[in-house]
Amino acid sequence: MKPVIALVGRPNVGKSTLFNRLTKTRDAIVADFAGLTRDRHYGHGRQGKHEYIVIDTGGFEPDASKGIFKEMAKQTRQAVAEADVVMFVVDARDGLSAQDHDIGNYLRRLGKPCLLVANKAEGMKAGAQLSEFFELGLGEVHPVSAAHGQGIKDIVELALAPLLLQDSAEETIEDVEARPVRLALAGRPNAGKSTLINTWLGEERLVAFDMPGTTRDAISVPFERNGQQFELIDTAGLRRRGKVFEAIEKFSVVKTLQAIEDANVVVILIDATEGVTDQDAHIAGYVLESGRAVVLAINKWDAVDDYQRQLVERAIETRLGFLKFAALHYISAVKRQGLAPLWASIVQAHKAATCKMPTPVLTRVLMEAVQYQTPKKVGAYRPKPRFAHQGGMNPPVVVVHGNSVEHITDAYKRFLEGRIRKEFNLVGTPLRIEFKTSHNPYAD
């Protein structure tokens, strides 16, 4: 599960600049929801092979009691609650302020892992120039320059080190045990996630239990359907009542992103009465980027008229066109309409994501495609695909070898993808195609 880092500090200390540095680009923003633009931005970053989620918060005044500052303080507390580690950002140029003291006192009381980051510290060392920040009682001061990228790698390594050790131990256990199909339900608040979950749990008369793990783990509910083992990962806020779980509508961005990362199959639930929103598109894009198998379900279909249905169908084509490979279902969780075909697509998506594609079959499909349509010449290069093999599963990865294949156009790549999808019935899973050029000088 991706670790979560929250950036906290008073206004204008450079949190947003640090956020953009940690996520590499503003395009990395995963969620930027109405009403929260001053408060919480979510993005994802990577250092080496390790990925993480970053939360950028507005200026924090812990004791704010009214107006926008009270709301910003509330949102910052929520970000801190969701995080595994907090980066408390201070301004090295301005020095220590009374507001820094207030924030430091708040973070010390929480007892959550915290890294004290002195931004705008160009040319400074963690010595006499920054010694006043030791008054905060949060340990070592780490000088950085978010604007120039100085010290960023070091603070990310310090923040992630204990969390990655924990994750590696968890993964070792999971690798030994055979795991069921992990299913996540993703969607906006009030899209009907809790209703659908409760319908499933009620159908199966489940006795659910907490899975062992750390406090960072999302609650999971194991169950069986038609002889197949599943594990439902909580994104709706599962509340325990005795030995039975009841889903309550409680939206957590971090919980949703982590559940997507941890799932084999993601069902994206969209509210037909609201249409396809920016938030729906953000979630769908994150699912695609994560390489997860996916099924689209439009809920409350019984509550909209023909005109609204046409608008929703048009919005799916225009805003979610990048998920054309996914099965699409129109359902009513309340009336239990369309749920059986939805389950069939969930099973199919998982089957496609874990499909085994033999090298001889892949190579035959590749050669038939080349015979039907030869790749276009690009400048002085004429791509000549030779053979293909499978490079991974969940999502499936196909590696194409040949001469100058790195010059194959995006259009031809889509053509190949269509051929491979048809051959192996890859409905519901992303498919990644990689090209590797032969460096044999005698290759014709």
Summarised one tens digit per residue, pLDDT across range 55-83 is 887 777 666 555 555 666 777 787 788 88
Which helix (H) or strand (E) element contains residue 365? Answer: helix 359-372
Ordered alpha helix ranges (H), 83-191: 98-110, 152-176
Please tell me what DSSP assigns to residue 302. Answer: G
The mean pLDDT value for 106-117 works out to 87
- Equal fold, 4-173 vs 178-352: yes
Q: What's the pLDDT at 136? A: 87
Q: What's the pLDDT at 204? A: 41
Answer whether 0.75 is exceeded by the pTM.
no
The DSSP-derived string for 163-177 is HHHHHHHHHHHHHHS
- Which one is the CATH code of 178-352: 3.40.50.300, 3.40.50.150, 3.30.565.10, 3.40.470.10? 3.40.50.300
Task: Report the 10 Å Cβ neighbour count for 364.
Answer: 14
Q: What's the pLDDT at 40? A: 66
The model's pLDDT over 401-429, given as tens digits with 9 standing for 90+, comes to 989 898 899 999 999 999 999 999 999 99
Specify whether domain 359-437 bears CATH 3.40.50.700.
Answer: no
Q: What's the pLDDT at 425? A: 94
Helical packing angle, 253-262 and 67-82, nearest 10°: 20
Contact 418, 428 (CB under 8 A): no
C-alpha count within 13 angstroms, C-beta hemisphere, residue 200: 24
Whether the CA torsion 244, 250, 254, 260 is positive or negative: it is: positive
CATH number of 4-173: 3.40.50.300
The mean pLDDT value for 6-11 works out to 88
The model's pLDDT over 360-393, given as tens digits with 9 standing for 90+, comes to 999 999 999 999 999 888 888 888 998 999 988 8
Q: What's the pLDDT at 364? A: 93
The mean pLDDT value for 327-344 works out to 93
Q: What's the pLDDT at 57? A: 78
Q: What's the pLDDT at 220? A: 65
Distance (Å, whole) CA 57 – CA 421:
42
Q: What's the pLDDT at 173? A: 32
Mean pLDDT over the full length of the chain: 80
- 61 or 133, greater pLDDT: 133
Whether 172 has a pLDDT exceeding 70, the answer reads no
Q: What's the pLDDT at 35? A: 35
Structure tokens at 361: 């079959």
Distance (Å, whole) CA 436 – CA 120:
43
Using CA atoms, how far residue 329 sits from 223, 282, 297, 389, 440, in Å, is: 22, 20, 5, 33, 49
Structure tokens at 138: 């949060």
DSSP, collapsed to helix, strand or coil, labels residue 331 as coil
Q: What's the pLDDT at 34? A: 33
| Residues of the chain above pLDDT 70, percent | 78
User: Domain coordinates of the chain in residue numbers?
Assistant: 4-173, 178-352, 359-437
Q: What's the pLDDT at 252? A: 63
